[in-house]
Amino acid sequence: MNKYQLIKQIGECPKCGCKEFIVNSKVDGEVSYFVNLDGEECDNSEMYSGLDYHYDEWCVCANCEKQLFKYKDYYASGDFLFE
């Protein structure tokens, strides 16, 4: 069992009890934002799809910033909500 699976099973930060964690990343690329001249809303759902994300090695507690588990273990779990 890796550290992500262990922390997920516990359900909170072992140091402060917070239930949220942070995935920090650096981003490179260009964003295109579409605007319609007649005031109609444009589809910008793909706005961030051309960016390259570089994730920090560790996911940290949102409250105390304790290193909880490695991003690669979180990603490998399939629990992530973004890519």
The string of pLDDT tens digits covering residues 20-70 is 999 999 999 999 999 999 989 999 999 999 999 999 999 999 999 999 999
- Give domain status of residue 82, yes or no: no
- Give domain status of residue 53, yes or no: yes
Locate 72 and state its tokens: 């690669």
What pTM value is reported for the model? 0.76
Cα gap 7→56, rounded to integer Å = 18
pLDDT at 83: 53
Full domain range(s) for residue 63: 3-77
Number of domains comprising the chain = 1
Q: Among candidates 71, 31, 69, which has minimal Cα distance to 52?
A: 31
